[in-house]
Structure 1
Amino acid sequence: MKYLMIAFLLLSVAVMGFTPAEIFIQGIVKDEKGMPVVAASVIETNTKNVSETNAEGKFRLKVNKEKTEITVMAIGFKEQKLKVTQSQIILVVLKADSKALTEVVVTAYAKQRKMDMTGSVVIPSSVHQYSASNISQQLQGTVAGVTVVKGNGKPFKDEWHDPKRRMHDHEKNFNREGYDAITENTFQSVTEQPLSTFSIDVDAASYSNLRRFIQNNQLPPAGAVRIEEMINYFSYQYPQPKENQPFSVNTEITDCPWNKKHQLMLVGLQGKQIDLTDLPASNLVFLIDVSGSMYAENKLPLVKASLKLLADQLRPKDKVSIVTYAGSVGLVLPATSGEYRTKIKEVIDRLEAGGATAGGAGIQLAYKVAREQYKEKGNNRVILCTDGDFNVGQTSDAALETMIEQERRSGIFLTVLGYGMGNYQDAKMQKLADKGNGNHAYIDGIAEAKKVLISEFGGTLYTIAKDVKLQIEFNPRHVKGYRLIGYENRMLAKEDFNNDQKDAGDMGSGHTVTAIYELVPPDAEIPAHVSVDPLKYQHKDSQKQPEKNYANTDERVTIKLRYKEPDGEQSKLITEVVKNAPVKFAQASNNLRFAAAVASFGLTLRGSAYKGSADFDQTLALAKSALGTDKEGYRREFIQLVEKAQQIALQKTQTNNGVFE
């Protein structure tokens, strides 16, 4: 019996030794000009194995056997089929397809546009061993198609962060990023438009995103520069609210550094800081994009590192579920107590990128899981980690927004964490966060992940007030005109302020919100203001001498603020009055002077029509004079960023997309 047991164990070990290892095929997909094809689908023929190329056109596909056939498809290109082996690194060159893309076919994973694709195979002997810099030269004179190069089976090195790469190498890889155009707020006449109404915005994604551009030696496109998010990236020393108010309202008025005839007014909100031990129990659903486009080091690997940091903050009363999506969606971790953080992190570590991107289906499943685990009086939230490049299923912005709006009524909030470059869909991420009663951050590195998920843990994940709106009434006796800097996509009609059905921004524990107005005093002219003819049917003295009807008071503005409790549906009102007491810029607080420096930087990057004398030198001077304590070092980092942007601007008078002049 003893020998029989030993024989059985030896046989078991032998069988285990013959367990086949996972097989992967690696390659890169380019077009005929040698440019990487992003988000191309790479499929093992007649299987469910699918991958997707990243921002550099690279892919890594899990296959069932060492020798197999793969199909490569991309919208706008002809399909390519080829036989490959595991020991080869494949270069696929797709030919452009000029035919209309109309027919829809269903693959094993998802719907895609059918492309009538053809191609050819170039045998290894017809080309020399290639490097990234001479691929196009090696293919000159050959048939467009596929080159197979012998390799060692090791994964590609991610060279995106290689500082030796030339500037144009970075620029050409941003061509699939999506940003909405921004139409800047104009100056308004107080006699014609005395009310300014907008929703708060605590997002700071724009700043970390443009930091990524600048660190990669490129000035950001205009649509990526949202000045309010740049300002709100930084913390400001506002006092904590008194009594039972969720936030304090703070104001300050001083000279405008880029237009000496004007003034600046700061409006700052400070959210109540709740001790972490007093925060309600959380029901969190990590919704993770594991599609092929997330293969790069600054995507899924950074997502995994970020969420493991967040897992370390969880308490036993918190629960986490994990939903993933690629070509299909799945629940990879049912609701698990934060007490078992090791188990949570093990599941995160096992995630791999590959497949198409069924983002809509993933969002639906995540909300379903969140509803099933719903905690009354708790923090119920979906945390979406993605590059935003949905290409399967319910992918139109309108459809996704409608779905998110319906889901938010269940009391579940949405946090959107953006990752990566090359195909980053900023506009889509903004819309999802706005419609989901949530916030949006861009994670460009592990330091930013620590800032968002550890340093600002309460503000990022715990809402203290929702649908927060501001309405400011200017007194024409002291203010002739005004312009709100930024917040273009947060503007509201004046009637929306008292309408509790109108959605607005949310505020987290300890968060600050800062808004800057540029004011035109009574003795100055409103820039580029076009007046209207006097009214024909209202002959009033106020039209000839309007100042007779102005309130005789030293009140400069009245600020009204509406908000709802996180689980409430009826708004509450806070009112603050600002007296006419401006100070010289040198005597203004560090809060205002540094916020002005950030605004100056944004105006300069955008080439704003309202930038006046704002430039990089002015920005640097303002920032250096307002560093304050800067415990985290973010303000000093800002100065370094401005200096680098100035160097880039000196090297070229205009970026490729014409943003900076």
Structure 2
Amino acid sequence: MKNFLLLPLLVAAGSLAVGAATTSSPAKLAATFRLAPTPDTLTVRGRITDRTTGQGLPGVTVLVKGTTTGVSTAPDGGYRLVMPTGHRVLIISSVGYVTQEHTISKEYRVLNVALQPDSRTLNEVVVTDGLAGKAAGVQITGRGEARDAAAPARKSKVSGWSGNDYVAAPRPAPGVGETYAHTQEGGFRSATKDPLSTFSIDVDAASYSNVRRFLNQGQLPPPDAVRIEEMLNYFQYDYPQPTGPEPFSVTTELAACPWNPTHQLVNVGLQGKTVATDKLPPANLVFLVDVSGSMMGDDRLPLVQAGLRLLVKELRPQDKVALVVYAGAAGLVLPPTAGNKRSEIMRAIDNLRAGGSTAGGAGLRLAYQVARDNFQKDGNNRVILATDGDFNVGEQSDDAIEHLIVQERESGVFLTVLGVGQGNYQDKKMELLADKGNGNYAYLDNLDEARRVLVRQFGGTLFTLAKDVKLQVEFNPARVREYRLIGYENRTLAAEDFNNDRKDAGEMGAGHTVTALYEVVPVGAPAAIDKLKYQQNPAETPAPASADLMTVKLRYKEPQDKTSKLFERTLRGSAVSLERASENLRFAAAVAQFGMLLRASEYRGDATWAATAKLAEEARGKDPEGYRAELVRLMKAAEGLQPPAGTYGSR
């Protein structure tokens, strides 16, 4: 059912949901909404109440079946509606109530309806202020009446249904109803039999802020919510800026492993070139905002709006922003607008209200279409999706969403995903969208996180330096018996994928750092794998420290290129003690150790909560924003949440 409140969206977007292509001229739309009686029209009045309480219900949709003619009830539940020629059936619908249909006779001019409460959610998009309608020359007033947008405004006691009259249903406890992709922790591999480790970089940081949300609410996160590579890459490291032609530098380091003294730890760090904001290419941004019913609540749509307002303040005149929303359908509520027209952009953001089912596929299609239509050849073209990931209308399977995103990324439009909410949070789907859309993924657990992602990391979040960045590490079996990549379980690639330019991989933004850790079993140390009986075993005596430990090869593409570039680095030398290692390695080791403890990893060795917090505290280094100090606090909080050893559920 199409609600008359969708009309402004239909006019601006020119389409409804997936595949719809029906448009109307402003004149025809205005004619549809004229309320002047005709010989066969009928004026109906009445009041809509709650059957249980008898109170009037504001914001109820009273729609003439088969038309776009309708009104929204006043604060006392009252309404007045002129039914067009040939139509005599009204549909009465509202959030949380059973929808009713009533046939009106010529003799029966008053219809009072008592609605029965129901558990269903909102089923249409709601956008106030009629911004899109104004663009078409039609403005919807508080009572659903239409007038010429150029005509003098008249006062109305009713502001229209904004969604503020409704209280969201109580939300489940954190984690209940949320979905996370299951990952099997990577184990040790033989450097003799399997010397190549290949994976895609990951600059996403959603897992860390999500883990922080759980711990701040006094609850341990589900193990699958803990992705160690995203926890590592939440933090910035002091790697050198690139000096060569590559858009990033590569740093390698070898030290003792803190949780297993017989093992070693390899740190591989990438530093993206920092680019001043005024030197960044022009941006073509499309905000795609989920305004469905599940987005009600302070930690959802209002948080997204606050974050986008912060982002708007960073825009430059050469940047352009459009705003697309989706719920029961998708619509364009702000056409591409120059970044210096902040008041217009702010007004569009401010007037969003939550309400509706979730046609995520339709919203994605429309947002990509708007981005393509305004494509900047030498600029940054990006869709910024803000949602809880709860898609339940249109493309809802992971396969369908993946197919849609894979198709659209070929246009050169990248994707940033901003996740919000809890209780029904769909992390699995959000991560999939970002991975397949040549983009990054952040979880906003509070306004400061929104500021970090959209303001402090403006360049890294929104401007891509290199795409399809892959690493392939070859270990020298003369020095390494076994190795294990820590994290990146869902980013691993087959060895042959490294040279395949059609294989998708991760993107790196301006100023971003990427950190990867390998736990290494050196030759001569006790092995995790028994000696082989029928094949030659690795050497028992390690090669000298002057021999290569490993070679790191990297492939990447320029943002709009289809052919990758290759360069490589080698790592030699002996492992230093942990105390002599850089702050980069020590702090990264503490983060990885924290993640292993949260996951109850079988590879956590001698790690303890106290030792982990101490290691992080001693390697805090420069911490101007206090994020590293916050990590230490979270480590101590997590220790206090551990159940007694030996009890059910202990980690």
**TM-score normalized by the length of structure 2:** 0.76
Q: Deviation at 1:638? A: 0.6
Specify the alignment match of 1:356 in structure 2: 357
Q: How does 1:138-287 map to 2 (within 5 A)?
A: 155=165, 171=173, 174-287=175-288
Specify the alignment match of 1:580 in structure 2: 573
1:403-459 superposed Cα distances (whole Å, 9 cap, x missing partner): 110111110000000011111100101111010100000011110011001111000
1:178–1:424 CA contact under 8 A, matched in 2? yes
Specify the alignment match of 2:501 in structure 1: 500
2:526 is equivalent to residue 525 of structure 1: yes
Match of 1:565 among 553, 558, 561: 558
SS in 2 for 1:566: coil
Counterparts of 1:525 and 1:267, CA distance in 2: 24
Q: How does 1:370-389 map to 2 (within 5 A)?
A: 370-389=371-390
Q: Deviation at 1:525? A: 2.5
2:515 is equivalent to residue 514 of structure 1: yes
Residue type matched to 1:263 in 2? Q
Counterparts of 1:211 and 1:285, CA distance in 2: 29
Question: How many pairs are equivalent?
Answer: 535
2:545–2:573 CA contact under 8 A, matched in 1? no
1:382–1:413 CA contact under 8 A, matched in 2? yes
SS in 2 for 1:649: coil
1:192–1:302 distance in 2 versus 1, CA, 3 Å: same
2:397 is equivalent to residue 404 of structure 1: no
Q: Deviation at 1:243? A: 2.9
Specify the alignment match of 2:633 in structure 1: 640
Specify the alignment match of 2:77 in structure 1: 66
2:303 is equivalent to residue 302 of structure 1: yes
Residue type matched to 1:176 in 2? G
Counterparts of 1:230 and 1:359, CA distance in 2: 28
Counterparts of 1:260 and 1:86, CA distance in 2: 78
1:25–1:409 distance in 2 versus 1, CA, 3 Å: farther
1:170–1:218 CA contact under 8 A, matched in 2? no
Specify the alignment match of 2:330 in structure 1: 329
Q: Deviation at 1:86? A: 13
Residue type matched to 1:446 in 2? L
Counterparts of 1:621 and 1:88, CA distance in 2: 64
2:596 is equivalent to residue 595 of structure 1: no
Q: How does 1:537-556 map to 2 (within 5 A)?
A: 543=536, 554-556=547-549
Q: Identity percentage over the alignment?
A: 52
1:89–1:381 distance in 2 versus 1, CA, 3 Å: same
Q: How does 1:400-549 map to 2 (within 5 A)?
A: 400-527=401-528, 529=529, 534=534, 543=536
Counterparts of 1:301 and 1:564, CA distance in 2: 37
Q: Deviation at 1:310? A: 0.6
Counterparts of 1:231 and 1:514, CA distance in 2: 6
2:477–2:538 CA contact under 8 A, matched in 1? no
Q: Deviation at 1:62? A: 6.8
Counterparts of 1:249 and 1:221, CA distance in 2: 33
SS in 2 for 1:473: strand
1:174–1:344 distance in 2 versus 1, CA, 3 Å: same
Counterparts of 1:251 and 1:586, CA distance in 2: 17
Q: Deviation at 1:91? A: 6.9
Q: Deviation at 1:643? A: 1.3
Match of 1:619 among 612, 624, 638: 612
2:208–2:230 CA contact under 8 A, matched in 1? yes
Q: Which runs of 5+ in 2 are unaligned?
A: 1-46, 53-58, 66-70, 79-90, 102-110, 126-162
Counterparts of 1:333 and 1:545, CA distance in 2: 64
2:215–2:634 CA contact under 8 A, matched in 1? yes
Q: Deviation at 1:577? A: 0.8
Q: Deviation at 1:534? A: 2.8
1:621–1:91 distance in 2 versus 1, CA, 3 Å: farther
SS in 1 for 2:636: helix
1:288-313 superposed Cα distances (whole Å, 9 cap, x missing partner): 00000001110000000000111111
Counterparts of 1:256 and 1:397, CA distance in 2: 38
Specify the alignment match of 2:313 in structure 1: 312
Q: Deviation at 1:341? A: 0.9
Q: How does 1:25-36 map to 2 (within 5 A)?
A: none
Specify the alignment match of 1:55 in structure 2: none
Q: Deviation at 1:555? A: 1.1
SS in 2 for 1:233: coil
Residue type matched to 1:615 in 2? T
2:198–2:470 CA contact under 8 A, matched in 1? yes
2:175–2:221 CA contact under 8 A, matched in 1? no
SS in 2 for 1:620: helix
1:212–1:24 distance in 2 versus 1, CA, 3 Å: farther
2:481–2:538 CA contact under 8 A, matched in 1? no
1:552–1:317 distance in 2 versus 1, CA, 3 Å: closer
Residue type matched to 1:401 in 2? E
Counterparts of 2:458 and 2:527, CA distance in 1: 43
Counterparts of 2:335 and 2:351, CA distance in 1: 15
Counterparts of 1:87 and 1:453, CA distance in 2: 47
1:590–1:628 CA contact under 8 A, matched in 2? yes
Counterparts of 2:526 and 2:421, CA distance in 1: 45
1:544–1:309 distance in 2 versus 1, CA, 3 Å: closer
Specify the alignment match of 1:129 in structure 2: none
Q: Deviation at 1:157? A: 7.2
2:175–2:222 CA contact under 8 A, matched in 1? no
Counterparts of 1:24 and 1:627, CA distance in 2: 61
1:219–1:327 distance in 2 versus 1, CA, 3 Å: same
2:214–2:221 CA contact under 8 A, matched in 1? yes
Q: Deviation at 1:580? A: 2.4
Q: Deviation at 1:650? A: 4.7
1:71–1:82 CA contact under 8 A, matched in 2? no
Counterparts of 2:424 and 2:60, CA distance in 1: 20
Counterparts of 1:615 and 1:90, CA distance in 2: 56
Residue type matched to 2:175 in 1? F
Counterparts of 1:233 and 1:182, CA distance in 2: 19
RMSD: 3.4
Counterparts of 2:474 and 2:506, CA distance in 1: 20
2:123–2:355 CA contact under 8 A, matched in 1? no
Q: Deviation at 1:280? A: 0.4
2:266–2:520 CA contact under 8 A, matched in 1? yes
SS in 1 for 2:621: coil
Q: Which runs of 5+ in 1 are unaligned?
A: 1-22, 29-41, 49-60, 74-78, 95-106, 111-152, 161-168, 536-542
Residue type matched to 1:534 in 2? Y
2:290–2:326 CA contact under 8 A, matched in 1? yes
1:653–1:80 distance in 2 versus 1, CA, 3 Å: farther
